[in-house]
Amino acid sequence: MADILITGANGQLGTELRHLLDEKGIAYDAFDSKGMDITDAQAVADRFAEVQPKIVFHCAAFTAVDAAEDEQKDLNWTVNEDGTKNVAEAAKKAGATLVYISTDYVFDGTNEGEYAVDAATNPKNEYGKAKLAGEKLVSSIMDKYYIIRTSWVFGQYGKNFVYTMLRLAKSHDKLTVVADQVGRPTWTRTLAEFMLYAVQNKVPYGYYQLSNDGHCSWYEFASEILKDQPVDVQPVTSEQYPQKAYRPRHSIMSLDKVKGTGFNVITWQEALQNFLNEVN
Ligand SMILES: NC(=O)c1ccc[n+]([C@@H]2O[C@H](COP(=O)([O-])OP(=O)(O)OC[C@H]3O[C@@H](n4cnc5c(N)ncnc54)[C@H](OP(=O)(O)O)[C@@H]3O)[C@@H](O)[C@H]2O)c1
């Protein structure tokens, strides 16, 4: 395969992607924030000049959704908007294909059905607004790009909801979890596999949405994670569990376009079981 460059190499997704490429014997150059700070345009230009990538998997992002509302508001924009601009401009100059990962938070989550890939966006929190700005930069700067929106990401290599539930279950008899926010969990492995599938199979450039199939509330997700644990999981409302950043209530993104490429999307229950088998 063509030369691959990964940003955000030590994040939850970046690490999964590196493991997938290692397993397949595919070479790559991967940079964490120290090796290439994406907010430093010169550092980005220098690394891209060295690697001359033909494929860029842009996994770096500022992902602290609540901190993005106030104390790290500027950093959210600097990384997710300015950083993405630096990466897109360098990728364009190198003639590379860029894979940018975005989020269901570009939607407001007020609809009843599924969000089509071309549905109107309306981000309600700072993180969603900055990630949408990143989408717009990628689609305006690049011709050869994949923008892949995802949601509720969990995987072996990072902090996520599944690990939090498993940890809390060790010290609590009872856990309360929000039951009125519905979405689609995404295993990093499924996402990494689709990222590779898209570039290897040269699926048409443009916007995609990738999560595991099916949907659930956070309460249902927690109940499945902890089904074999001696802990009582109880539903609560969003009002009973206030968070700084707005959270979409119903953010189910259509998987039709990804399925139309021939990629097999497993259910979130199967993905979760595979993940639990891996970490146990
Ligand atoms: N996690 C979710 O639930 C979720 C949901 C929807 C979409 N997404 C998207 O999925 C993608 C991957 O997320 P993730 O879960 O893997 O996030 P993550 O674990 O927080 O990883 C993000 C990585 O970006 C790196 N990074 C931050 N600032 C940087 C900078 N200035 N220069 C270079 N690297 C920088 C971080 O490195 P340091 O730790 O060294 O700073 C971190 O390793 C992101 O685009 C995210 O927006 C995630």
Question: Per residue in 213-250, pLDDT tens?
Answer: 999 999 999 999 999 999 999 999 998 988 999 998 99
Q: Which residues contact 219 (CB under 8 A, 6 or more apart)?
A: 177, 178, 179, 233, 235, 236
With a cut of 60, say whether residue 1 has pLDDT above it. Answer: no
Tokens matching residue 110: 């007020």
User: Tell me, which fold does domain 4-160+184-213+251-266 have in CATH?
Assistant: Rossmann fold (3.40.50)
Res 274: pLDDT: 97
Ligand 1 binding residues, C-beta < 6 A: 7-8, 10-14, 32-33, 37-39, 59-63, 79, 83, 101, 103, 131, 150-153, 158
Q: Helix 218-225 to helix 161-171 angle, to the nearest 10 degrees?
A: 60
Q: Are 239 and 180 in contact (CB under 8 A)?
A: no
DSSP string, 86-119: HHHHHHHHHT-EEEEEEEGGGS-S--SSPBPTTS
Tell me the mean pLDDT in the region 47-57: 97
Q: Using CA positions, which residue lies closest to atom 29 of ligand 1?
A: 33
**Partners of 58 in beta bridges:** 7, 100
Tell me the mean pLDDT in the region 259-270: 98
Q: Using CA positions, which residue lies closest to atom 15 of ligand 1?
A: 12
What residue spans define the domains of the chain? Answer: 4-160+184-213+251-266
Res 241: pLDDT: 84
CA atoms within 13 A on the CB side of 65: 17
- 112 falls in which pLDDT band (50, 70, 90)? confident
Q: Are 131 and 84 in contact (CB under 8 A)?
A: no
Distance 59 CA to ligand 1 centre (A): 6
Res 129: pLDDT: 98
pLDDT in tens, 186-222: 999 999 999 999 999 999 999 999 999 999 999 999 9
- 280 falls in which pLDDT band (50, 70, 90)? confident
Q: Which residues contact 162 (CB under 8 A, 6 or more apart)?
A: 154, 225, 272, 275, 276
Tell me the mean pLDDT in the region 109-129: 96
Tell me the mean pLDDT in the region 1-12: 90
Strand, coil or helix: 273: helix
- The Cα–Cα gap between 164 and 156 comes to 12
- The Cα–Cα gap between 62 and 51 comes to 24
> Pick from 1, 3, 89: which is nearest to 53 by CA?
3
Q: How many residues does the chain have?
A: 280
- Residue type, position 268, single letter: W
Q: Which residue out of 115, 127, 146, 246 is catalytically annotated?
A: 127
Distance 234 CA to ligand 1 centre (A): 30
- The Cα–Cα gap between 32 and 26 comes to 19
Distance 23 CA to ligand 1 centre (A): 22
Told to judge if 127 belongs to the known catalytic residues of this protein, a careful annotator would answer yes
DSSP string, 145-182: EEEEEE-SEE-SSS--HHHHHHHHHHH-SEEEEE-S-E
